[in-house]
Chain A
């Protein structure tokens, strides 16, 4: 792995309707008027015009059958992206993540034509447990296509720095001193580049590729013709989606810098459990839905994290992605399918509104709780934040962190001056002793935007 599939890219005449569209995502108003579209209507579908994004909707909107229902032309490559399966997660946002992953695979298996392969863009598991990887493998083996390419999410490498992930999925991938697992392969004339941006994260930072991987990317594409279509896939978005929530990659722009000369670059990411798309010149960026649970859209709730949607609407916000390579088009055509077939908008909005309502109601309770219930030498982890952010303790005393989030966190000393915690799942706690005075900054090694400080005084 990865196997190199070399197949001549057959030039097939297809999808003329797609090629009718301006492919740079910025059609002019004139083109618009010529189409007879009013602006409001146009704006709602601008992303689709630019990138081929669309939802398939129950009841058969004609356009969904054009890409989703027709078998691809002879020699035309199409593949599926799945992401963020979080096998092992069992909280309110989805108590059966194995079931929804199985439903996602079932949806792919039910397609009239089978994809060349699947790309899983990370967070296969919740806690990197062998049993979780086993379960994921078992479900993914049910895919008729029989071939899945992986990149890790932070949940897959959080316990052992990626050792067990690499043992399972890393055969044939690149290794560096600081990690590994990145690789490339060719299929139907398209270069696929799988990147790892969840290792060695720095306090206060975002996703990170690191110098070794960047140098490898430069070498990997050096001898390719600029007309080679490129697909880059990685867990954390390579563009700056919402840095306040850690949704971006610090050195993502450097990686994309090596791809500037290529006419067609498609970037596929996961991590944020929602679709977002952006076209910048030759590069089209897409984030995917999760198969496990949604997260709120940027800033619409107090923090990221698993979001509960109204009963019956979970499958509106989970899904899979179909990607077609049409040789004559600049950008790959991307079609997102929710598991239910419904548009996800209503369920996202309902979940976000509930999260905001909960946050407005909660402060009083939290404030009194902090005064009454929280011990002096204690830090709670809630809503992706350490409270208090700066905590004072006496020399020789101990400090305990308690995780109240539905996601795991991991305490790491920024300057390695106190022992970091193991992975702390929901309700887990960790206690460290502070025998010397001084200031001890720390962060969460999974979510490095989360920072805190221990001030130890005499």
Chain B
């Protein structure tokens, strides 16, 4: 793929990923849980491209989720909520940290180093 096509693709993805709904603009709306997503372990990768992957992870009460950090340092701060696990503070690189989700609910989190990185864990 040429650099130009890649750039255009990235731009297209950005345009679709940007928000539209709620502003009177008909926006792109993906299904929250793609039907053919491969079954994955309860793991969220904090990537070098500044994203949590998957950005939404669904698990069940009593399961642990592994936050896997690569070469670029990140952290995980949960929005205050009953049952939210402890934050993963500091700068974490080339390591994995697990958190137990003992309460049902939706727990959103961000990386304080890169505020654009946001994700959530849905505990059923």
Contacts and interface: CB of A to CB of B under 8 A. Distances in A.
Contacts of B71: 356
Contacts of A349: 49-50
Contact of A40 (B10, B32, B93, B116): B32
B21 A35 contact: yes
A347 to B, nearest CB: 8
Interface stretch (A128-136, A192-200, A297-305, A410-418): A297-305
A57 B14 contact: yes
A312 B115 CA distance: 27
Secondary structure at the B interface, as helix, strand, loop or mixed, is loop
Given A57-B15, A342-B7, A346-B6, A40 B30 contact: yes
Nearest to A301: B72
B8 to A, nearest CB: 9
Given A36-B29, A41-B29, A298 B113 contact: yes
Interface in A14-51: 17, 20-21, 29, 35-49
B113 A242 contact: yes
B18 interface: yes
A288 B95 CA distance: 32
A356 B32 contact: no
A362 to B, nearest CB: 15
Interface in B14-61: 14-15, 17-25, 27-32, 48-50, 55-56
A244 B10 CA distance: 30
A334 to B, nearest CB: 14
Interface string B92-124: 010000000000001000000111101110000
Given A42-B19, A54-B18, A310 B3 contact: yes
Contacts of A35: 21-22
A342 B23 CA distance: 22
A278 interface: yes
Contacts of A429: none
Interface string B75-103: 00000000000000001010000000000
A353 B30 contact: no
B23 A17 contact: yes
Contacts of A276: 115-116
Interface residues on A, range: 35 or more
Contacts of B31: 38
B48 A352 contact: yes
Contact of B72 (A17, A63, A299, A343): A299
Contact of B11 (A63, A312, A343): A343
A343 B15 CA distance: 9
Contacts of B25: 62-63
Contacts of A47: 115-116
A38 B115 contact: no
A145 interface: no
A109 interface: no
A356 B115 contact: no
Given A17-B23, A40-B55, A356 B48 contact: yes
Contact of A17 (B24, B49, B116): B24
A347 B10 CA distance: 10
Interface of B: 3-4, 6-7, 10-11, 14-15, 17-25, 27-32, 48-50, 55-56, 71-74, 91, 93, 106, 113-116, 118-120
9 contacts: A17-B23, A41-B28, A47-B116, A55-B14, A57-B11, A62-B25, A63-B20, A300-B72, A312-B4
Interface of A: 17, 20-21, 29, 35-49, 54-55, 57-59, 61-63, 242, 244, 276-278, 297-300, 310, 312-313, 316, 342-343, 345-347, 349, 352-353, 356
Given A43-B55, A299-B74, A352-B48, 9 more contacts: A38-B29, A40-B32, A41-B17, A44-B18, A48-B19, A54-B18, A297-B50, A299-B72, A346-B14
The 4 closest A-B pairs by CB, nearest first: A45-B19, A346-B10, A35-B22, A343-B14
